[in-house]
Chains A and B, each alone.
Chain A
Amino acid sequence: MTAAVGSTPVTFLGRAERDLRDDRLRAAVRNATNLMSGSRLDALAGLEDPDGLRDAARTLRAGVMAELPELLDEWSTRFEAHGGHVHWAADAAEATATVRDLVRAQQARTVAKGKSMASEEIHLNDVLEADGVEVVETDLGEFIIQLAGETPSHIIAPAIHHDRYTVADLFAADGGHPVEADIGAEAAYAQVRLRESFLSAGVGVSGVNFAVADTGSICLIENEGNGRMCTSVPKVHIAIMGMERMVRDWSELDVMLGLLARSASGQALSVYTNIITGPRRPGDVDGPDEVHVVVLDNGRSRILGSAFQEALHCIRCGACLNACPVYRQVGGHAYGSVYAGPIGAVLTPLLHQEDPAARELAEASTLCGACWEVCPVRIPLHDLLLQLRQRDAGTDAGRARRLGFTGWSWLWSTRAGFSASTQLGRLGRRLARGRTRLPGWAGKWAEGRELP
Chain B
Amino acid sequence: MSSAAGEAVVFPTCLVEQLRPELAGTCEALVAAADGVAPRTAHGGACCGQPAWNAGFTAAARRVAGATLRGLRRTNGPIVVPSGSCATMMQRHWPDVFAGTSHEAEARAVAGRVVELATYLDARSPHDAAPSPAATTVTVHDSCHGLRELGVKAQPRRLLAEQGVEVVESEGAERCCGFGGTFCVKLPAVSVAMADDRLDEWTASGIETVVGGDLSCLVHLEGRARRRSLPLRFRHLAEVLRPSGDASANR
- A365-B180, A445-B185 known; A372 vs B45 contact (CB < 8 Å): no
CB of A450 closer than 8 Å to a CB of B: yes
Cβ contacts under 8 Å, A418 to chain B: 14, 17, 45-47
Q: How far is the CB of B65 from chain A (nearest CB, A)?
A: 9
CB under 8 Å from chain A, chain B span 137-187: 144-145, 148-149, 174-176, 178-187
> How many Å lie between the Cα of A402 and that of B58 in the bound state?
10
Contact, CB under 8 Å: B60 / A398: no
CB of B224 closer than 8 Å to a CB of A: yes
A-B contact pairs, 15 of them (CB 8 A): A13-B186, A325-B175, A368-B180, A369-B148, A370-B144, A392-B56, A393-B55, A398-B57, A409-B52, A415-B67, A448-B189, A448-B191, A450-B223, A450-B226, A452-B222
Contact, CB under 8 Å: B58 / A390: yes
Cβ contacts under 8 Å, A368 to chain B: 144-145, 148, 176, 180
CB of B54 closer than 8 Å to a CB of A: yes
CB of A31 closer than 8 Å to a CB of B: no
Contact, CB under 8 Å: B57 / A401: yes
Cβ contacts under 8 Å, A92 to chain B: none
Interface bits A368-384 vs B (CB < 8 Å: 1, else 0):
11101100000000000
A329's contact among B43, B145, B193, by CB below 8 Å, is which? Answer: B193
Q: How far is the CB of B88 from chain A (nearest CB, A)?
A: 10
With most chain B CB atoms within 10 A of its CB, the pick from A13, A369, A409 is A409
Interface bits A392-435 vs B (CB < 8 Å: 1, else 0):
11000010011001101110111100100110010000000000
Q: How far is the CB of B143 from chain A (nearest CB, A)?
A: 9
Nearest A-chain residue to B147, judged by Cβ = A369
CB of B208 closer than 8 Å to a CB of A: no
> How many Å lie between the Cα of A141 and that of B184 in the bound state?
33
Q: How far is the CB of B140 from chain A (nearest CB, A)?
A: 16
A393's contact among B56, B64, B184, B194, by CB below 8 Å, is which? Answer: B56
Contact, CB under 8 Å: B190 / A409: no
Contact, CB under 8 Å: A405 / B60: yes
B185's contact among A17, A392, A413, A441, by CB below 8 Å, is which? Answer: A441
CB of B37 closer than 8 Å to a CB of A: no
CB of A16 closer than 8 Å to a CB of B: yes
Cβ contacts under 8 Å, B189 to chain A: 13, 16-17, 20, 447-448
Q: How far is the CB of A295 from chain B (nearest CB, A)?
A: 33
Cβ contacts under 8 Å, A451 to chain B: 223
- A12-B187, A444-B188 known; A452 vs B223 contact (CB < 8 Å): yes
Closest 8 CB pairs of A and B: A366-B180, A389-B56, A449-B223, A448-B192, A393-B56, A409-B60, A368-B176, A368-B144
Interface bits B58-101 vs A (CB < 8 Å: 1, else 0):
11110110110000000000000000000000000000000000
B224's contact among A370, A408, A448, by CB below 8 Å, is which? Answer: A448
- A413-B67, A445-B223 known; A386 vs B180 contact (CB < 8 Å): no
Nearest B-chain residue to A442, judged by Cβ = B185
Nearest B-chain residue to A422, judged by Cβ = B18
- A366-B144, A401-B55, A451-B223 known; A444 vs B190 contact (CB < 8 Å): no
> How many Å lie between the Cα of A386 and that of B52 in the bound state?
11
Contact, CB under 8 Å: A20 / B190: yes
Task: List 7 other contacts, CB 8 Å, given A368-B180, A406-B57, A448-B192.
Answer: A12-B187, A13-B189, A366-B176, A392-B56, A409-B59, A412-B46, A413-B45
- A373-B148, A415-B45 known; A444 vs B223 contact (CB < 8 Å): no
Cβ contacts under 8 Å, B44 to chain A: 415
CB of A275 closer than 8 Å to a CB of B: no
CB of A194 closer than 8 Å to a CB of B: no
Contact, CB under 8 Å: B185 / A444: yes
CB under 8 Å from chain A, chain B span 217-248: 219-220, 222-224, 226-227
Cβ contacts under 8 Å, A219 to chain B: none
Contact, CB under 8 Å: B197 / A328: yes
Contact, CB under 8 Å: B224 / A329: no
Contact, CB under 8 Å: A415 / B223: no
Interface bits A192-209 vs B (CB < 8 Å: 1, else 0):
000000000000000000
CB of B105 closer than 8 Å to a CB of A: no
CB of B19 closer than 8 Å to a CB of A: yes
- A366-B176, A369-B144, A389-B54 known; A326 vs B224 contact (CB < 8 Å): no
> How many Å lie between the Cα of A365 and that of B179 in the bound state?
10
With most chain B CB atoms within 10 A of its CB, the pick from A329, A393, A449 is A449
Contact, CB under 8 Å: A447 / B187: no
> How many Å lie between the Cα of A112 and that of B64 in the bound state?
58
Interface bits A317-341 vs B (CB < 8 Å: 1, else 0):
0000000011011100000000000
CB of A364 closer than 8 Å to a CB of B: yes
Contact, CB under 8 Å: A449 / B224: yes
CB of A367 closer than 8 Å to a CB of B: yes
Cβ contacts under 8 Å, A366 to chain B: 144, 176, 178-181, 183, 194
> How many Å lie between the Cα of A401 and that of B60 in the bound state?
11
> How many Å lie between the Cα of A71 and that of B237 in the bound state?
53
Q: How far is the CB of B125 from chain A (nearest CB, A)?
A: 27
Contact, CB under 8 Å: B60 / A452: no
A422's contact among B17, B55, B174, B178, by CB below 8 Å, is which? Answer: B17
Cβ contacts under 8 Å, A409 to chain B: 49, 52, 57, 59-61, 63-64
Cβ contacts under 8 Å, B194 to chain A: 325-326, 329, 366
> How many Å lie between the Cα of A198 and that of B93 in the bound state?
54
Contact, CB under 8 Å: A398 / B56: yes
CB of A363 closer than 8 Å to a CB of B: yes
